[in-house]
Amino acid sequence: MVKPLIAANWKMYKTVNEALQYLSAFKPLVQSATDVDIALCPPFTALAHVGHELQESNIRMGAQNMFYEREGAFTGEISPMMLRELGCVYVILGHSERRRYFMEPGMMINKKLKMALRAGLHPILCVGESEFERTEQETENVINTQLTDALEGIPSEEVAGLTIAYEPVWAIGTGKTATPEMAQDVHLFIRSFIAQKYGKSSAKELRIIYGGSVNADNIKQLMSKPDINGALVGNAGLDPQSFAKIVRFKE
């Protein structure tokens, strides 16, 4: 049975002080939650402080991005080794905002994914279609291409240990949410893709989470679906009380 992952992507929000205030409120609310994996993904500037505060807690930390080299003359970038030293367990790769605003192609995401795995980080690989692509019934073609490009050259046993986040672009930060049935359909497609390319065992072990205006009101319905194994939460993850309710969706 795949253990659910509930992760908050803070994006470009929260100063160090704001992050520490969040933790002081959030940690007590989820300290007894042992049936899910919990992750917070702060901006780079807060990683060191958040990582220190999360030591010996049941909450893990992730980064929102990384570069595909261990070190070098890459101004403005951060390496997986730096992230590991700060206490990161997870790293988000291929988020639609990285693809859209920073023009990250599939080849680059593939290089980042391979480096993250070599460095011992757990990648959260994001895939998803735009509203136009869904309207044109291109969802499966888009997901197929994104997965094919990102997973090129990665062996089955490593694919099995990934987390894939399905985030329909049209539902990120818009208040629109794919219905549980719509999300389940795409999650099933992703699992079937992995089964076909990497084997049924890899597909069974793979954790597929949903992102796209997830909140405390819709998390239970989403998590009731057989192929939805967690959530990557945006806006609702910025408030400690709200995110705690999502983490404790079973209660």
Phi then psi dihedrals of residue 211, to 5 deg: -135, 140
Catalytic residue among 95, 104, 122, 187: 95
Tokens encoding 237: 């993850």
Catalytic-residue membership of 95? yes
Give the number of C-alpha atoms closer than 13 A to the C-alpha of residue 2, restricted to the C-beta side. 24
Extract the tokens encoding 159. Answer: 């694919």
Residue 168 phi/psi, 5-degree rounding, is -60, 125
Q: Tokens 């929260």 belong to which residue?
A: 14
For residues 231 and 7, the answer to whether their CB atoms sit within 8 Å is: yes
Q: How far apart are the first and last CA of the chain?
A: 19
C-alpha dihedral sign at 131, 102, 165, 37: negative
- 49 tagged catalytic: no
State the catalytic residue, choosing from 104, 129, 133, 167. Answer: 167
| CA 100 – CA 113 distance, rounded (Å) | 18
Q: What is the largest CA-CA distance in the chain?
A: 49
Tokens of 24: 């002081």
Residues marked active site are found at 95, 167
